[in-house]
């Protein structure tokens, strides 16, 4: 038996469920993954099967522990990280969900959000939650299930049902139904949790007509979340860390000081800046959110959310069949000198920050007879640089700091063309770490912290290593020209959808 301690991280994402076994030095020892299906029962609706999510999680946990033999015996803690906002209600006695999981991308409650905004409630909600009215968040999803599934509201009021985001649902099952708890970062994405007072908010529960009886307990990110049922994984293992995926990635990238920024390029793109212990409201319709809370002390972040990043490349692969392997997108993009004035606005589920237009849909502009699939693929990759630039000046002004470097992670950072274009558009270095599984790594760090493997969060900083740095090479004139074309494309899309928004307060903070 290997007696060196290890940590098991569960990373339950939008399109896959994976487990990663980390050493005490935070090196990856093994990975197990299973793809996860999304279901689209109606236009704008996105659902998943909660029981599949749980069974897949159990399967990959068991598989990785069987593969790693002695190292599995040395697992001292489990960390959980998850797709945020995705909403599940289940029976407290049976564990059976009352309805499929409504995924964060789902837009069915958009009209509810519009109505509440028109009624003037948004300033109050933002002041307490740091969020905006958008169907992205959990509250209107919960209300929809309560109002549209027969008998569910009455059962919820009687205390028979439990609500949770994916982390909470997995914890409930891992502990054999003994623990109904979440962490502060996931609670903060529900539109029901006051991140200033750090508690569920009675006024917000009343606004969305949600009974408090269904809510989980909210704990720090590194805490005693309970022991696993020994029948599941062969023995009891403490669950010590939980955080929503983007917050976990911030920790995995060691962004522990105010002004540090990480940007994750997975299904969507999410850029977070650590802003320290003081809550600050955004002036650019970005989000203020907990970065993490340890020992009862909150650290906040400013977040910009882009709904579609890697999902655009996945669509080109699966929907249009431009290539069989997403890795082929880089060679295609490099096969042409430019995008031939093609711009791809990947608003498949609306535009996120800083526009917040859930009603618009994707657009490819600038097509001509000599447009090839290579131009379209290149435009899809370039969109990631443009979308991130839309966010950065606003993030820096809201956060009160300038980011000298951006640390990136997620599946799309394996694409060197995308990373170089990102550095060129942001006009600052972009760093890719040796361990790009920053989300799972953050969960592992939190779990290790909870069981005393690390004395404090900062003790893990020296384990972070840079793999590649991309530095800007584009001229200022070229950058301005390309970005102006992007802004024109976005404004065309907004005009076509009606009620065009003003351009974001973003140009280039490095000019």
Query: If you write DSSP's letter for every residue of 451-481 in order, what string do you get?
Result: TTSSSSGGGGGGG--EEEEE---S-HHHHHH
d(CA 104, CA 124) in angstroms, rounded, equals 23
Please give the pLDDT value at position 503: 45
SS3 35: strand
Sorting pLDDT into bands at 50, 70 and 90, what band is 499? low
> Given a cut of 80, is residue 498 above it in pLDDT?
no
Please give the pLDDT value at position 398: 85
Residue 291 or residue 501, greater confidence: 291
Please give the pLDDT value at position 1: 45
Please give the pLDDT value at position 228: 96
Please give the pLDDT value at position 356: 79
Backbone angles phi, psi at 298, to 5 degrees: -90, 140
Q: What is the DSSP string of 127-185?
A: HHHS--S-TTSSHHHHHHHHHHSTTHHHHHHTT-EEEE-HHHHHHHHHTTT---EEEHH
Sorting pLDDT into bands at 50, 70 and 90, what band is 87? very high
> Given a cut of 60, is residue 342 above it in pLDDT?
yes
Please give the pLDDT value at position 67: 86
- Find out whether 243 and 442 touch, Cβ atoms under 8 Å: yes
CA torsion sign for 191, 195, 198, 201 is negative
> Helices 245-252 and 438-450 sit at what angle, rounded to 10 degrees?
80
Using CB atoms within 10 Å of the CB of residue 41, give its burial: 0 to 12 exposed, 13 to 18 middle, 19+ buried: exposed
Please give the pLDDT value at position 195: 97
Which H, E and C letters describe 288-319, residue by residue? EEEEEEECCEEEEEEEEEECCCHHHHHHHHHC
Least confident of 24-28, 72-76, 262-266: 72-76
Q: Which domains does the chain possess?
A: 310-387+478-497 (3.30.420.40)
Q: Radius of gyration of the chain from Cα atoms?
A: 22
Summarize the confidence of residues 171-200 as an average pLDDT.
97
**Best CA proximity match to 411, nearest among 287, 317, 299:** 317
> Given a cut of 50, is residue 505 above it in pLDDT?
no
**Best CA proximity match to 157, nearest among 209, 194, 101:** 209
> Given a cut of 80, is residue 207 above it in pLDDT?
yes
> Given a cut of 60, is residue 510 above it in pLDDT?
no
Residue 507 or residue 162, greater confidence: 162
Beta-carbon count within 10 A of 497 CB: 17
Q: Which two tokens stand for residue 392?
A: 């950065």
Summarize the confidence of residues 143-151 as an average pLDDT.
96
> Given a cut of 80, is residue 64 above it in pLDDT?
yes
Backbone angles phi, psi at 283, to 5 degrees: -100, 0
> Given a cut of 80, is residue 32 above it in pLDDT?
yes
The kind and range of the H/E element at 117 are helix 110-118
Q: 498: Cβ–Cβ under 8 A, 6 or more apart, which residues?
A: none
Please give the pLDDT value at position 72: 65
Q: What percent of the chain has pLDDT over 90?
A: 77
CA 285-126-361 angle, 5° bins:
45
> Helices 416-426 and 373-399 sit at what angle, rounded to 10 degrees?
40
Beta-carbon count within 10 A of 38 CB: 14
d(CA 277, CA 260) in angstroms, rounded, equals 14
**Best CA proximity match to 383, nearest among 414, 339, 336, 326:** 339
d(CA 19, CA 57) in angstroms, rounded, equals 8
Rounded alpha-carbon distances, angstroms, from residue 65 to 177, 321, 467 = 22, 36, 28
CA torsion 265→271→276→278, rounded to 10°? -140
> Given a cut of 60, is residue 14 above it in pLDDT?
yes
For tokens 């005009």, the residue is 495
Please give the pLDDT value at position 267: 81
Q: Please state whether the peptide bond connecting residue 28 to the residue before it is cis, i.e. omega within 30 degrees of 0.
A: no
Q: 464: Cβ–Cβ under 8 A, 6 or more apart, which residues?
A: 253, 254, 433
Task: Give the mean pLDDT of the chain.
Answer: 92
- Find out whether 444 and 7 touch, Cβ atoms under 8 Å: yes
Q: 51: Cβ–Cβ under 8 A, 6 or more apart, which residues?
A: 96, 97
Sorting pLDDT into bands at 50, 70 and 90, what band is 509? very low
> Given a cut of 60, is residue 239 above it in pLDDT?
yes
Least confident of 98-102, 326-330, 497-501: 497-501
Please give the pLDDT value at position 501: 47
- Find out whether 367 and 492 touch, Cβ atoms under 8 Å: no
> Given a cut of 50, is residue 508 above it in pLDDT?
no
Summarize the confidence of residues 145-150 as an average pLDDT.
96
Q: Strand 239-244 vs strand 75-82: parallel, antiparallel, or unpaired?
A: parallel
Summarize the confidence of residues 61-86 as an average pLDDT.
89
Sorting pLDDT into bands at 50, 70 and 90, what band is 2? low
For tokens 């009160």, the residue is 400
């Amino acid at each position: 038996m290997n007696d060196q301690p290890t940590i098991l991280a569960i990373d339950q994402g939008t399109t896959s469920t994976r487990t990663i076994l980390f050493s005490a030095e935070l090196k990856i020892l093994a990975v197990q993954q299973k793809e996860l299906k999304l279901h689209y029962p109606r236009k704008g609706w996105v659902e998943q099967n909660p029981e599949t999510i749980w069974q897949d999680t159990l399967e990959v946990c068991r598989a990785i522990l069987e593969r790693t033999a002695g190292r599995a015996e040395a697992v001292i803690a489990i960390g959980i990280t998850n797709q945020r906002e995705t909403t599940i209600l289940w029976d407290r006695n049976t564990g059976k969900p009352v309805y499929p999981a409504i995924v964060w991308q789902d837009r069915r409650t958009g009209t509810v959000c519009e109505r509440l905004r028109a009624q003037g409630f948004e300033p109050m909600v933002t002041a307490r939650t740091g969020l905006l009215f958008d169907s992205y968040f959990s509250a209107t999803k919960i209300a929809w299930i309560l109002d549209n599934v027969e008998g569910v509201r009455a059962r919820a009021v009687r205390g028979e049902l439990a609500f949770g985001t994916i982390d909470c649902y997995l914890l409930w099952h891992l502990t054999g139904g003994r623990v109904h708890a979440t962490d502060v970062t996931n609670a903060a994405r529900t539109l029901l949790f006051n991140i200033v007072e750090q508690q569920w908010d009675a006024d917000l529960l009343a606004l969305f007509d949600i009974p408090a009886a269904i809510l989980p307990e909210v704990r720090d990110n590194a805490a005693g979340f309970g022991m696993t049922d020994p029948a599941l994984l062969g023995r009891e293992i403490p669950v010590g860390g939980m955080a929503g995926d983007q917050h976990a990635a911030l920790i995995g990238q060691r962004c522990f000081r105010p002004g540090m920024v990480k940007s994750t390029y997975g299904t969507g793109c999410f850029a977070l800046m650590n802003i320290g212990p003081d809550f600050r409201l955004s002036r650019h319709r970005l989000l203020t959110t907990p970065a993490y809370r340890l020992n009862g002390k909150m650290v906040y972040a400013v977040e910009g959310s882009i709904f579609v990043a890697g999902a655009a490349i996945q669509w080109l692969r699966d929907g249009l069949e431009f290539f069989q392997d997403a890795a082929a997108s880089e060679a295609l993009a490099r096969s042409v000198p430019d995008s031939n004035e093609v711009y791809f606005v990947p608003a498949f589920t609306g535009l996120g920050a800083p526009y917040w237009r859930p009603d618009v849909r994707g657009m490819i502009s600038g097509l001509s007879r000599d447009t090839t699939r290579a131009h379209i693929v290149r435009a899809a990759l370039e969109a990631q640089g443009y979308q991130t630039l839309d966010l950065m000046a606003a993030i820096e002004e809201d956060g009160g700091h300038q980011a000298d470097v951006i640390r990136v992670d997620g599946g799309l950072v394996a694409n060197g063309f995308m990373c170089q274009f990102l550095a060129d558009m942001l006009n600052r270095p972009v760093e890719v770490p040796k361990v790009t599984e920053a989300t799972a790594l953050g969960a592992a760090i939190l779990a290790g912290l909870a069981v005393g493997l690390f004395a404090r969060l900062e003790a893990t900083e020296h384990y972070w290593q840079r793999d590649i740095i991309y530095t800007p090479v584009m001229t200022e004139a070229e950058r301005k020209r390309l970005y102006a074309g992007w802004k024109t494309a976005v404004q065309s899309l907004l005009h076509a959808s009606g009620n065009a928004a003003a351009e974001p307060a973003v140009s280039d903070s490095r000019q």
